[in-house]
Amino acid sequence: MKFKMINSQSVPLITVILFTASFVYAVDDDLFSTGIVADNVRGLIKPVEKAVISSEIAAKIKRIPFKSGDSFKKGDLLVDFDCSFYRADLASAEAAYKSKQNVFENNKQLLALNAISDIDVSISEAEMEVARADRTMRAIRVGQCKIKAPYNGRVIEVAVNEHETVPADKEILSILNDQDLEIELIVPSNWLNWLSQGEPFAFLVDETGSSLDAKVSKIGAVVDPVSQTIKLTGKFEGKVENVLSGMSGTAMFKQNNN
C-alpha cells in the first residue's frame, strides 16, 4: 500500500476549510432546530384604486379645484363644467314633456266622452313617453357637468387647464386612493410549500427606512414557468403614514419548516 505525503503548507488550508464547514453546519443546524429561516424579497407599493377621469360631455371647463399632489375627500368636486347650454336644453325638453303629458291627459278625458278613438290616445301616450325619455337623457347630461371624487385620495396629474373647451372622452386628471395601498411581491414558486394567505411579514421601506407590519392578502393564480415565480399581494396591518405609491422595499418573511 502506498501513502501520499501531504505538504505541510496545505495543512492550515485544510484546517480552515474544515472549520468553515463545521461553522456553516452549526449555523444551519441552529436555524433549523428552531424551525425558522429568514427569506427576503423585493416589493413595490401600489394603490388598490387608481383612475383616469375623462369628460363625458363636450363642454368648457369652469373649475378644477384640486391640482397635482392635492388631497381630496370622497364626494369632493373634482371637475366643474360650464353647462349653460345643457341646462337650457333640459329646460326645453322638460317643457316638451309637459306639453305631451297634457295632450295625453286631455285625450283620456275625450275618450271617456267617446269623442276620440283609442288609437289617438295610444299615440298621444307614446309621444309623451318619448318626450319623457328625451328629458331623462338631457338630465343625465346635466348630471355629467360635475365630476365628484369616488373615494378619498390624491391627484396624480392634471392634463388640461381651466377655461379650456374639451371634447367628450378627453382625459382630464388622474387620481389614486392613497389611503388603501398594497404591496406587490414576486416570490419563488416553491414557497407555496409553506406560504399561505394571511402569512405575516415585515416590509422595510427604502425611502423612509421604516419597518411596517404586513400580511399576504392574495396569492397569484398562475406560476410563471420560465422564472418559476408567483405574484403575491400584501396588505399593511393598520393605518400607515408617510408611505406613498411607487415606494419600494424588502419584504422579510420567516419560513416555518416544522
Q: Write out pLDDT tens, residues 16-32.
A: 333 434 433 333 333 33
pTM of this structure = 0.72
Q: Is the pLDDT of residue 8 over 70?
A: no
How far is residue 67's CA from residue 173's CA, in Å, rounded to a whole number?
A: 9
User: Rg of the chain over CA atoms, in angstroms?
Assistant: 34
Least confident interval from 15-29, 134-148, 170-184: 15-29
DSSP state, residue 117: -
SS3 call for 67: coil
- 237-243 long-range contacts, CB within 8 A, separation 24+: 237/200, 237/212, 237/213, 238/213, 239/179, 240/181, 240/212, 242/208, 242/210, 243/45, 243/181, 243/205, 243/208, 243/212
Q: Which set of grid coordinates corresponds to residue 24?
A: 456553516
What residue has cell string 427604502? 206
The domains of the chain, with CATH numbers, are 35-48+180-256 (2.40.30.170), 84-144 (1.10.287.470)
CB of 251 closer than 8 Å to CB of 214: yes
CB neighbourhood size of 93 (10 A): 19
How far is residue 155's CA from residue 138's CA, in Å, rounded to a whole number?
A: 30
CB of 221 closer than 8 Å to CB of 180: no
Total length of the chain? 258
Q: Which set of grid coordinates corresponds to residue 127?
A: 309621444
Q: Which of 138, 36, 148 is nearest to 94 (CA)?
A: 138
Question: How many helices, marked H, and strands, marked E, lie in the chain?
Answer: 3, 14
How far is residue 139's CA from residue 151's CA, in Å, rounded to a whole number?
A: 24
What residue has cell string 424588502? 250
Q: Looking at residue 189, what is its pLDDT?
A: 94
Q: Write out pLDDT tens, residues 82-132.
A: 999 999 999 999 999 999 999 999 999 999 998 999 999 999 999 999 999
Least confident interval from 28-42, 60-74, 127-141, 221-235: 28-42
